[in-house]
Amino acid sequence: PAVRGLSASLAYRADIRDNDTKVDTFTQVVMDSYVGGVVRNEPLSWARHTVSGTLHFRLDAARRFAGGVEYERYDRDYGADPSTDEYRVWGQLRSRLDFGELKIRLEYGDREGSNLEPAVPHGAPQNPLMRWFDVADRERQAATVALMLFPRSAFDLTLRGEVARSDFADSRIGRTKRLKRGYGVELGASPADNVSLFAYALRSMDASDQRNSQAFGAPDWKGQTDDDYATLGAGLRVIGLRKNLDLELDLTFSDAESGISLTVPGADAGIPDIENERFMARLGADYQVDDRFSLNLGLVYESLRRRSWQLDGVSVDTVPGFLSLGVDEPDHDVVAVTLSATYEL
């Protein structure tokens, strides 16, 4: 018999790519020196099959549960033709509160790979212990929480948080661990019927560990990367500022920092951080000439500042045996004006 408030669904998806790009061989070049042997281009083809089942259960008018299982088979036709089988399970709770809504989601995934040994046909050999992180055996757990508050009819506040951990326990060379965390707050307000305001602050942190070998054998050094991203934004929308005239303003600031540290036998090495700062302001105005014809005027300003050890102070021939393009950091200040017209038939 049917269970009141319970529904189920079953889905199948197929994503198949057959790449017929012509395969050719090329003489391999490493550090401006020709080396023996040749390499060939590898057309990327794959077949991805996914089967998923989902259950939804409404406990009462305020609380809803959902859960599902998913199986994915992913066959790749490049390198050593690696294939992966991944099983995923997830559960979710949505609960309406007197002052808002709460959403909690938990996920678990387990991936197993085959034919993972790296292969470069006709080219330089690869360490057989290396595992590409996107096909390596992996166990992943994730949790997401969102709390939406509506203390007043013209005001809303959303708090978000997430954490995801991935372990690559069987990878001796390559990525061994990843931890991703993030949180944020979003605000919205409507002080008048024709005016809306919004603001947000978001932060994301992504850390991973990897191991490698100097002697083309067992791992003898490790590295850690820590990426930290922060974004602030605010905006204003005014409908009918003047007759047939709408106005919008968007402000965005982002700051990103990436740190790399190495643990090498006999010495610990640190690499300078990579930093990016970006600011953008956009002012737009829409004027409705008549029922079918409208004009849009936009003014955009963007500023980008980047500091990177890969390019700072590196000219065309700074590195022995290596020629670069001598590219500078893409710092810029840009002002753009746009004008567009729309006519509805």
What residues pair up with 212 in beta bridges, in sequence order?
Answer: 221
How far is Cα 159 from Cα 186, in angstroms, rounded to an integer?
Answer: 7
Per-residue pLDDT at 121 exceeds 60: no
pLDDT more than 90, % of the chain: 57
Please tell me the pTM assigned to this model: 0.83
Q: Where are the alpha helices (DSSP H) in the chain?
A: none
The sign of the dihedral angle between the CA atoms of 240, 243, 244, 250 is negative
DSSP-assigned letter for residue 23: P
Amino acid at 289: V
Q: What is the pLDDT of residues 141-190, one digit of tens each?
A: 999 999 999 988 889 999 999 999 999 999 989 999 999 999 999 999 99
The two beta strands, 100-114 and 245-264, are: unpaired
Contact present, 206 and 216 (Cβ < 8 Å): no
Contacts of 43 (CB under 8 A, 6+ apart): 19, 20, 21, 23, 77, 78
How many whole angstroms from its chain centre is CA 31? 31
**pLDDT of amino acid 204:** 97
Contacts of 100 (CB under 8 A, 6+ apart): 147, 148, 149, 150
How far is Cα 27 from Cα 225, in angstroms, rounded to an integer?
Answer: 33
Amino acid at 341: A
DSSP string computed for 78-112: STT--EEEEEEEEEEEEEEETTEEEEEEEEEEEEE
Q: What is the pLDDT of residues 294-329, one digit of tens each?
A: 999 999 999 999 888 777 777 777 666 666 666 667
**Chain mean pLDDT for the chain:** 88
What residues pair up with 298 in beta bridges, in sequence order?
Answer: 284, 338
Q: Which of the four pLDDT bands, split at 50, 70 and 90, describes residue 137?
A: very high
Contact present, 260 and 224 (Cβ < 8 Å): yes
Q: Which of the four pLDDT bands, split at 50, 70 and 90, describes residue 225?
A: very high
**pLDDT of amino acid 30:** 63
Give me 171's structure tokens: 């990878």
**pLDDT of amino acid 80:** 66
Per-residue pLDDT at 128 exceeds 90: no
What residues pair up with 260 in beta bridges, in sequence order?
Answer: 225, 271
**pLDDT of amino acid 118:** 64
Q: How many CB atoms within 10 Å of residue 344?
A: 7
Section 99-110 average pLDDT: 96
Section 260-270 average pLDDT: 76
Per-residue pLDDT at 228 exceeds 70: yes
